[in-house]
Structure 1
Amino acid sequence: MIESAALRGGYLLCFLCLSCLTPAHAAPPAAPGHTEHPGEPLAGHAAPALVLDEVTVSARHREERAQAVPIAMNVLDGEQLNDAGLLRSEDLQQRVPSLLVSVPNARYTSYGIRGLGSSSYNDGIDGSVGVFLDGVYLGRQGMSLGDLVDVQRVEVLRGPQGTLYGKNTTAGAINVSSRAPTFAPEGSAEVSMGEAGLRQYRGTFSGPLVDGVLAGRLTAYDVERDGLIDNVYDGSELREQNRQGLRGQLLWTPSEVFSARLIGEYAWQDEQTNSFAASNYSASTIKRAAFVGYRQLPIDPYARRVQQDEPNTVKTLQTGATLELNRLLDNGATLTSISGYRDWRYDADQDGDGTALSIAENVAVQLNQHQFSQELRLADSPNEHIDYVVGAYYLRQTLNRELGVRFGKDAAAFFLGDRPEVDLLGITPAMIPASLLQGAQQAFDGEQRTDSRALFGQITWHASERLAITPGLRYTRERKQGWLSRSVSGLAPLGPDLVSQIAGNLLRSTALGGEYYRRDAIEESNLSGQLALSYQFRDDLLGYASWSRGYKAGGINLDVVGPNVEPTFGAERVTSLEVGLKSSLWDERATLDLAVYQADVDDYQALTNRAPVDEFAPPIRDNLINVGKVRLRGIELDGLLRASERIDLRLGVAWSDARYRDFANAPCSPESAQWSCDLSGKRLFNAPEWNASAGIEQRYPLEQGLELFSVLDYSVRSGYYGTLEGGAGSYQPSYGLTNLRLGLRRSDRQWETELWARNLFDTEYITAVYAQLGAGDYGVLTGDPRSVGMTVRTRW
């Protein structure tokens, strides 16, 4: 169901853009037009009067034309992303309809493609979308949140990528490539100023260090913005931005057959964030708050107000190094080695209860992720009929976690406030000693080590000039080892009063638990692969069909578990069938791609609340489960059109039907009196049915080599539930976003200045849902309001 006028308007805009791609409305070719990145025409074609820029990709680990690759993908030019102000990973979903990115914070970042994507609210679960930066897999999805600055392109590969990318790509892969050093001097600088104190500085410089042999490139950015959330407790502002980054590169080419590229990276973030506005209070929380006399804020997420008595700071530090070596062998094959090492540190202090009460008054989390990866690939085209890639892969990850919770003076009275015994005995908050929980501390320590090894190979047989057959296999061996402990300290002796004697031990046992230690290990092997057939019906029309298998290893629940929760969970496997067409129209003035798919998921990995172990214990969000079967079906359409030398249009539409096929023992919503429901046939969470994106760019030539330009972008998404159990307050309504840019520049782009408005119509929308104190308590992260500003940039 379409839920708003904005959503209906978005579909109308998409329909109009699609109409522009229909031959009946095509204008005859005009004189050669403006192209920002001129590309060569296809071989065998006369140079047309007006063409789209040629797009190359490395999705199959070799440079190819995007329209010749039988994979459903979106290719985003880095310079165009920068121009549009889409500078972070979460912004990509505004251009890729099938992509869903949720960023409550760096720790809980998650990606989804075609409705498939894991919850991230447990440190033991991996993502279903693999994110790669310059060929290096990023072991935690929060490691991908550095700004997309000086990027060559971003490739979003839709569907399982189990052969060439392998690990944790059951839903797809995102391949980010940064710009390499150049031997011709070049550079750029950019300054942006906007509302809420926004200040962005970005710059890059590239050039030769030793002429013809050694080149270098240096890129840096600095972003600051004031907070967007008001903390009514002390008047402070939360959800600010404060991050910096630096990337340095060296390119060594001592000969025509060998090259080495070394990349070093540093990224820092220090922000007041983790600010979730309440979207629903459970009956238990309402009763507890009333008992202690606490007035909760009204349910109004879009008021952007919270009430918290503790700071919410998040600091992340990421350092990394990548070494890529390429050697052209005597037989014409290319041997490639990619070595990657990355350190990622997450350090957060947050208000554990999200209120002005001192309950779980402080939660301190520290994660340290260290990883090393090594990939060796051999690629060759020994003759005109065969292309192949074979390789080996190794990844070692170590995650260390320290988590501490400190309880305050209001904890005991709050936790007892909904007990019927309180009413029966006439107990008041003043009768409950704060010392029952005040000063108590929980310490959770843990570690997980992962070793992943793989051998893979893929061959493309050009059976004829038009038919190509591509089989591929990957064998993976994975081992995970982990341990987790809990200790409790700071407890005061129980007093002689009635409440302490009757409820003290039970309250402490329920709220704090006792000493805990668990060690687990899993070891798995898997064979995944693909078979793809492509047929070039005409020089401008490619059809393909593919079968592919994706695999994501099982894992360890990095949380304290009770008797009703398994400490480990099984592997997730996806079998996908896809049929697609890629076409070029009107002498390469337009492209139109269509993909139809069905993916069956076995043992989908998900996180939800577990049932309470007894009548006194709360439900806790620690139940990592395998959903028996899930099915994804959908249709995707992507189009580009150079309508004239002054106008470019783009369109993307994705329809997805993602449903549970076998989920008879699913958790119920918190409002239900049951703890087990049959969700078979119901829609999957985090899986909107409709997504669309459209845009139009216009250029207006002036005298003196100048031009005006305007760009209008629109993206729309239908509503969906953000949690598996689908409780009230976890629904994310439909919304549409409009971005506008107006500017003046030199035709050769040496300089430009623009005014921009993001979220032009100040649409209210939700980007993430978080389950808070107990079952039925939800907080949401609201999207940014309208922001207006100006950008000045120069290139040389």
Structure 2
Amino acid sequence: MPTVSRGRRTMLLAGALPAFACAGLARAETPQAVTTADAPATNEGDILVTARRREETVQKVPLAISVIGGKTLDATGTFNVLKLTQIQPSLQFYSTNPRNTTLNIRGLGSPFGLTNDGIEQGVGIYVDDVYNSRVAASTFDFVDIERVEVLRGPQGTLYGKNTTAGAINITTRAPSFSPEARGELSFGNLDFVQAKASVSAPLVADRLAFRLSGALTSRRGTIYNVTTDKDVNGIDNKAVRGQLLFRATDTLDLTLAGDYNRQDPDCCAQIYVRTGATQRPLNRQYAALAAAFNYRPPSFDAFDRLTDLDVPLRARQEIGGASLRARWQIGPGTLTSVSAWRFWNWDPSNDRDFLGLPITTVSANPSRQRQWTQEIRYAGSSGRIDYVGGLFAFHQTLRTTGEQAQGPAASRWLLNPSSAAARDPSVLNGLRSDNDIRLRTTSLAAFGQIGWHVTDRLRLQPGLRVNYDRKSGAYLATVTTGSGSTSLTADQRGVLAPQSYQPRFSAWNLSGDFTASYDLTQALLLYATYARGFKSGGINLSGLPLDAANQPILSAATVKPEREDHVEAGLKSQWFDKRLTLNLAAFWTDVHNYQATVTNGQLGVLRGYLANAGLVRTRGVELEAAARPSTRLSLYANGSFTDARYVHFRDAPCPPELSGGSSGATASPPGTPGGVSPAACDISGQWLPGVSRWSAAYGGEYSLPGHVADLDGRFYLGVDGSYRSRFSSNPSRSRYTDIAGYALLNLRLGFRFGEGWDVFGWVRNALDKNYYEVLATQSGNTGLIVGQPAEPRTFGGTIRASF
């Protein structure tokens, strides 16, 4: 059970290695630099983690894990998971808005593209042991964080919810029985303002303590909308978190926690990037369609950051909940119970035609989600045996009330221009689909892991998980014409088709892992792991593809579970009295029945549906290094090579350059106007979307003693760089949607003084690199490619204090 002194260890940590660190590097006699990640540490400088549900030093944990402490997060401006990717090369995060967010580790986790409510994520997000089922939770600001642990590879035998790709384990600062306070204020260009504060103190000495934390972040948008005279794609985040710790007895702690997060920016615009030739007739491709309206975007260069979207943008969401955590020291171990309730409210507005034309005038999928979780586990040791075992229950309800409406330009844009219907705006003007989408999910599991210390050096660690999942859903799309009629023509049905179906899925599965580790020396650990993982089957809740008669294909209502075979070997080492840490991991993962989000060539498909790819493989090597040559200088470098591919996916949807043509026995060359398109494409051997083969993070910090006026302290210079090579931004790789590799550089210069003061200036994306976060195609395959330019260079200053 945690003690007061243990909870206060983070206060010992001064200079943080700016970014990743996975082991303490400093000598015990230099407490001003206890660790490189300012995470809790032993007196010898080793970082303590709870990744395996017990407190242990990270270099003795036989799995690939990175630890980032709160001070490192603050120093590098890493206030959400998106920023975390710049210091975690194996982590991929892409978001066109909070609901449509992809979070992957080593290329696996959730399908790339628009979110489908009926599928589960493969990367678990845990905050103080509470599972967050919505990836949208990762778009909020970190609030009063002690450390973030990024675990790579399957974690189902240790964590409540099955996590086949990995887990992000976030630990907030706990209430303290010694009064303390922290505050931070930042200002920057683009009207950037960020404020953070926390206070903790005892209410009843040695028995009851509280902690209250809050954060506010706002920033003007980076894209100017000439239609509304507003900047869009800004930030408007607010978060508050409260905790109450009751030390009931010397062996029992109870922690009641609650949090509320609100986000309400004018977001999220995707704007004109380029056009590419498809198989559609020329009069149905972008250039001819735009010419028919005498339309041109405000700029043909996306990095002018201009748009003319004519639908109001909104990305309002609320996330919050409450939890009760009990930790009871019983016998040789600790019994932990975590009861939690969480909610997610999503209220969006999008311009899904991506143009300043009234094609799609309404596109929104407001959602309300509720989840309940209960986890009970016991972890302890007896002789040469360490063990953890637990039970987990999860229940989720979700309702989405989607709506889409077409405008007066829809007929000409979406229908065959040579037809009479295309010349009549009333055919599609006002055509509307109102969707009622419901989901109920129940998941139950028993899991456990045993560590057997065969000798003082050799450990064997088997784990097992039994899981039951049940999902039921309902999808009802009611389509009405502009006059309110439900009687539709073939043209209208081809754009927005009424659908009604009720998918169901339930299954048991058994998964497990086995790890062997061996200490060659006290500072050199070898390990090898095999894991068999399962990811629950899914149900399609974004509408089904249609057959030739414009009827939903019901066989596509469900997707099979994923089966994963994972092999990993690693080396963890420390040298020169822990001043140098070198860790290496090599992995190979095969995923059978990979759950992919795909699209088809139909005009009205705005959201993807789910399908199973036969086999996907991701394999690679990761290197992590951290060094402290002196008390003044700390360095780090992390690199990742990831080869993530479809091994077998022969009936995949085609990329845009092969779509939109007529059917026939022999397909035309890609980009042949009026050509023949294949019914499906074999994309076996192609890259998985969103994964760079090469990625890296590197940097360091140099400090030296100095004084300002009467203040003695240390001046410091911090440098943080990152690199990602080219990656695909489309489920079926396209010549039009590859994103070129890019390198980023962040700088900071500051002065630390007193017991906890820090004043510094910072520049992020210092070289003002232009790059895209995502690229996407327009519905209907006109050849339009839209994208989301990443943030330009930003700069500002921060003042921080702790007492």
Q: Counterpart of 2:58?
A: 66
- Return the match for 1:549 from 532, 537, 546: 532
* Equivalent position amino acid for 1:254 in 2: A
For residues 183-215 of structure 1, what are the alpha-carbon distances to aligned partners after superposition, in whole Å with 9 as ceiling and x for unaligned?
A: 011111111000000011110001101110000
Q: Distance in 2 between matches of 1:41 and 1:359?
A: 58
Evaluate the alpha carbon distance shift between residue 351 and residue 680 of structure 1 in structure 2; reply closer, same or farther with a 3 A threshold: closer
- Return the match for 1:579 from 569, 572, 583: 569
Is residue 161–residue 392 contact of structure 2 (8 Å, CA) maintained in 1? Answer: no
Q: Counterpart of 1:360?
A: 360
Q: Distance in 2 between matches of 1:493 and 1:239?
A: 35
1:169 equivalent to 2:159? Answer: no
Evaluate the alpha carbon distance shift between residue 444 and residue 477 of structure 1 in structure 2; reply closer, same or farther with a 3 A threshold: same
**TM norm structure 2:** 0.88
* Equivalent position amino acid for 2:433 in 1: Q
Aligned-residue identity in percent:
36
Is residue 39–residue 147 contact of structure 2 (8 Å, CA) maintained in 1? Answer: no
Evaluate the alpha carbon distance shift between residue 507 and residue 194 of structure 1 in structure 2; reply closer, same or farther with a 3 A threshold: same
Evaluate the alpha carbon distance shift between residue 262 and residue 299 of structure 1 in structure 2; reply closer, same or farther with a 3 A threshold: same
1:705-720 map, 5 Å: 705-720=712-727
Is residue 288–residue 415 contact of structure 1 (8 Å, CA) maintained in 2? Answer: no
Q: CA deviation at 1:440?
A: 2.8
- Return the match for 1:507 from 491, 504, 510: 491
1:179-578 map, 5 Å: 179-281=173-275, 284-329=285-330, 331-383=331-383, 385-416=384-415, 418-421=416-419, 432-492=423-483, 505-514=489-498, 516-561=499-544, 562-563=546-547, 564=553, 566-578=556-568
Q: CA deviation at 1:55?
A: 1.0
Q: Counterpart of 1:744?
A: 751
1:125 equivalent to 2:126? Answer: no
Q: Counterpart of 2:631?
A: 645
Q: Counterpart of 1:665?
A: 651
For residues 224-264 of structure 1, what are the alpha-carbon distances to aligned partners after superposition, in whole Å with 9 as ceiling and x for unaligned?
A: 11111011223221011111110000011021110001110
Is residue 124–residue 168 contact of structure 2 (8 Å, CA) maintained in 1? Answer: yes
1:781 equivalent to 2:781? Answer: no
Is residue 113–residue 608 contact of structure 2 (8 Å, CA) maintained in 1? Answer: no
Q: Which shifted more, 74-83 or 457-466?
A: 74-83
* Equivalent position amino acid for 2:387 in 1: Y
Is residue 166–residue 550 contact of structure 1 (8 Å, CA) maintained in 2? Answer: no
- Return the match for 2:144 from 142, 150, 173: 150
Q: Counterpart of 1:764?
A: 770
* Equivalent position amino acid for 2:49 in 1: V
Evaluate the alpha carbon distance shift between residue 388 and residue 566 of structure 1 in structure 2; reply closer, same or farther with a 3 A threshold: same
Evaluate the alpha carbon distance shift between residue 40 and residue 203 of structure 1 in structure 2; reply closer, same or farther with a 3 A threshold: closer
Q: Distance in 2 between matches of 1:40 and 1:520?
A: 47
1:620-659 map, 5 Å: 621-659=607-645
Q: CA deviation at 1:335?
A: 0.8
Q: Distance in 1 between matches of 2:59 and 2:771?
A: 35
Q: Distance in 2 between matches of 1:729 and 1:307?
A: 22
For residues 541-597 of structure 1, what are the alpha-carbon distances to aligned partners after superposition, in whole Å with 9 as ceiling and x for unaligned?
A: 111011112221111111221235611111112111111111111011121100011
Is residue 743–residue 754 contact of structure 1 (8 Å, CA) maintained in 2? Answer: yes
Is residue 753–residue 793 contact of structure 1 (8 Å, CA) maintained in 2? Answer: yes
Q: CA deviation at 1:315?
A: 0.6
Is residue 411–residue 438 contact of structure 1 (8 Å, CA) maintained in 2? Answer: yes
Q: Distance in 2 between matches of 1:752 and 1:41?
A: 22
Q: Counterpart of 1:50?
A: none
Q: Distance in 2 between matches of 1:29 and 1:113?
A: 33
Is residue 166–residue 551 contact of structure 1 (8 Å, CA) maintained in 2? Answer: no
1:610 equivalent to 2:611? Answer: no
Q: Distance in 2 between matches of 1:89 and 1:419?
A: 45
Q: Counterpart of 2:672?
A: none
Q: CA deviation at 1:146?
A: 1.9
Q: CA deviation at 1:78?
A: 1.6
Q: Distance in 2 between matches of 1:289 and 1:41?
A: 62
Q: Distance in 2 between matches of 1:41 and 1:398?
A: 40
For residues 620-675 of structure 1, what are the alpha-carbon distances to aligned partners after superposition, in whole Å with 9 as ceiling and x for unaligned?
A: 65331111111111110001111101000011000111122212222222112334
Q: CA deviation at 1:282?
A: 5.5
Question: What is the aligned-residue RMSD (CA, Å)?
Answer: 2.4
* Equivalent position amino acid for 1:387 in 2: D
* Equivalent position amino acid for 1:715 in 2: S
Evaluate the alpha carbon distance shift between residue 604 and residue 386 of structure 1 in structure 2; reply closer, same or farther with a 3 A threshold: same
Is residue 160–residue 391 contact of structure 2 (8 Å, CA) maintained in 1? Answer: no
Evaluate the alpha carbon distance shift between residue 166 and residue 729 of structure 1 in structure 2; reply closer, same or farther with a 3 A threshold: farther
Q: Distance in 1 between matches of 2:446 and 2:347?
A: 36
- Structure 1 runs, 4 residues or longer, greater than 6 Å off: 27-31, 38-43
Q: CA deviation at 1:54?
A: 2.3
Aligned to 2:261, what secondary structure does the other structure show?
strand
Aligned to 1:318, what secondary structure does the other structure show?
strand
Aligned to 2:121, what secondary structure does the other structure show?
coil
**TM norm structure 1:** 0.89
Is residue 39–residue 68 contact of structure 2 (8 Å, CA) maintained in 1? Answer: no
Aligned to 2:186, what secondary structure does the other structure show?
strand
Q: Distance in 1 between matches of 2:411 and 2:779?
A: 14
Q: Counterpart of 1:598?
A: 588
Q: CA deviation at 1:42?
A: 7.5
Is residue 163–residue 457 contact of structure 1 (8 Å, CA) maintained in 2? Answer: yes
* Equivalent position amino acid for 1:774 in 2: G
Q: Distance in 2 between matches of 1:477 and 1:40?
A: 36
Is residue 707–residue 747 contact of structure 1 (8 Å, CA) maintained in 2? Answer: no
Q: CA deviation at 1:442?
A: 1.2
Q: CA deviation at 1:512?
A: 2.5
Q: Which shifted more, 73-82 or 472-481?
A: 73-82
Q: CA deviation at 1:289?
A: 2.1
- Return the match for 1:116 from 108, 124, 128: 108
For residues 654-708 of structure 1, what are the alpha-carbon distances to aligned partners after superposition, in whole Å with 9 as ceiling and x for unaligned?
A: 0111122212222222112334222222222222100100011111112453110
Extract unaligned runs of 5+ from structure 2. 1-16, 278-284, 548-552, 659-676
Q: Distance in 2 between matches of 1:166 and 1:575?
A: 20
Q: Counterpart of 1:3?
A: none
Extract unaligned runs of 5+ from structure 1. 1-16, 22-26, 48-52, 495-500
Q: Counterpart of 2:665?
A: none
Q: Counterpart of 1:690?
A: 694
Q: Counterpart of 2:703?
A: 699
Q: Distance in 1 between matches of 2:744 and 2:679?
A: 37
* Equivalent position amino acid for 2:413 in 1: F
Is residue 82–residue 149 contact of structure 1 (8 Å, CA) maintained in 2? Answer: no
Is residue 543–residue 609 contact of structure 2 (8 Å, CA) maintained in 1? Answer: no
Q: Counterpart of 2:673?
A: none
Q: Distance in 2 between matches of 1:489 and 1:39?
A: 57
Aligned to 2:62, what secondary structure does the other structure show?
coil
Aligned to 1:143, what secondary structure does the other structure show?
helix
Aligned to 2:107, what secondary structure does the other structure show?
coil
Evaluate the alpha carbon distance shift between residue 549 and residue 405 of structure 1 in structure 2; reply closer, same or farther with a 3 A threshold: same
Evaluate the alpha carbon distance shift between residue 181 and residue 619 of structure 1 in structure 2; reply closer, same or farther with a 3 A threshold: closer
Aligned to 1:234, what secondary structure does the other structure show?
coil
Q: Which shifted more, 368-377 or 162-171?
A: 162-171
Is residue 665–residue 677 contact of structure 1 (8 Å, CA) maintained in 2? Answer: yes
